[in-house]
Amino acid sequence: MKGVLLSGGTGSRLRPITHTGPKQLVPVANKPVIEYAIEDLKEAGITDIGVVLGNKGREEIQEILGDGSKFNVDITYIIQGNPLGLAHAAGCARDFIGDDDFVMYLGDNILKEGITDLVESFRANDHGAGIALQEVDNPQQFGIADINESGSVKGLVEKPEDPPTNLALIGMYVFSPAVFDVIDDLEPSWRGELEITDAIQQLLDNGQAIDSHLVTGWWKDTGKPEDILEANRLVLEDGQRAIEGEVGDNAEIDGRVKLAESAAIESGAVVRGPVSIAEGTRVKSGTYIGPYTSIGPSCTLENIHIENTVVIGDSTITASGRIVDSLLGQGANVESSDDLLPKGRRLVVGENSQLKL
């Protein structure tokens, strides 16, 4: 079985962060989102992975992932170009897949429990496809599955006005190569895209059995800033304390704090986990880093109160006040102005921005 990892979307909901880079490389707990997908594929025994690239961010993704050897997998790059739908992206991988079954995984999704159960359930019987499902509160915003008591899929519909269930397709699929012939005959939907739900429905109409797996742990689509922050909280909540860097004599560290080897928390700073601090970052005196915060590499923080925030990296933050519930892009620098600060700021700041608060 092979893997197809989709990384060709435009990331419009994450602007301004994605004006200068692909959404799949936005870090969660100081690791690019796409790396979590690679780990899930590898854990399920899938090491031959095709990464589907769009027109934007190709070079950055290839630079981070390389040939896959640092993850102990083999990566082949597949060019999709313009994003014309998930079924179109799958179809672009036909030559790479050949006659094998394959997992298709959206590269901006994170799962707590991985995909091993989904893959094993598909392998247990003769299925044309398998889909990961989770109950959602707003089924009108998703592709929705109607299933019978045994878990077999009876039908699918994309973003229905009157959903038959609240079981949403969450971006992880398993297919037999029969899906490629179906994709060849698909017509674009009202959105102008080749819908993967239409492809799965056609397999069903052709008499193919469609398996389903209900995901019980958390799942996040990291398509918006608030989703990145929530995913960061969820991942950090499952983390372990690991102090490898330098800690000053009078620094205060509580809870699950991960401090990289070349990072430092100086005397007089307070860090309360769960927190992740990446390599080369210095947390100076007078700084308070509160729970659910990830500070990326090569940052400097001084005299700032910051919590429930993701700082992507290469930033200097010296604004004397509070930053909360924020996403700060690469190279964003935040310092104080002459005006008094309110109690807290909520920010989404793009790459190389300069702010005075």
Q: Which residues pair with 219 in a beta bridge?
A: 111
Q: Can you give the CATH number for the domain in which 159 is found?
A: 3.90.550.10
Total count of domains within the chain: 2
Residue matched to tokens 């973003």 = 159
161 falls within a domain: yes
> Quick one: how many helices (H) and strands (E) in the chain?
8, 32
162/23 same-domain check: yes
* Distance, CA of 118 to CA of 111 (rounded, Å): 12
Domain of residue 295 covers: 239-356
Element housing 35 (H / E): helix 33-43
Question: Does residue 226 belong to any structural domain of this protein?
Answer: no
Mean pLDDT by 10 residues, the chain (357 residues): 82 44 79 93 96 84 93 94 86 95 92 90 89 90 84 83 90 94 90 87 91 86 82 92 94 96 96 96 96 96 93 87 86 68 55 54
| Residues 212, 204: Cα–Cα separation, whole Å | 13
Instruction: Decide: 310 and 229 in contact? Cβ < 8 Å.
Output: yes
Residues 205 and 274 in one domain: no
Q: At what angle do helices 58-65 and 33-43 cross, to 10 degrees?
A: 50
The predicted structure's pLDDT at residue 339 = 53
The reported pTM is 0.85
Residue 330 lies in a domain: yes
Does residue 76 sit in the same domain as residue 209? Answer: yes
> 69 and 97 share a domain?
yes
In this structure, the answer to whether residues 109 and 163 fall within a common structural domain is: yes
Read off the CATH number of the domain in which 271 is found.
2.160.10.10
Query: What's the pLDDT score for residue 188?
Result: 86
Q: 133 and 11 in one domain?
A: yes
Look at residue 78 and tell me if it is in a domain: yes
Compute φ and ψ for 273, nearest 5 degrees: -80, 170
Q: Are residues 81 and 37 in the same domain?
A: yes
* Residue 295, pLDDT score: 97
The CA distance from 141 to 127, in Å, is 27
pLDDT for 332 equals: 78
For residues 253 and 335, state if they share a domain.
yes
Give 95's contacts (C-beta < 8 A, 6+ positions apart): none
Residues 85 and 202 in one domain: yes
Q: Looking at the domain assignment, is residue 233 inside a domain?
A: no
Is the domain of 75 the same as that of 138?
A: yes
Closest C-alpha to 39, from 128, 144, 146, 113: 113
CB-based contact 150:168 (threshold 8 Å): no
Pair (117, 210) in one structural domain? yes
Q: At which residue do the structure tokens 């934007």 appear?
A: 56
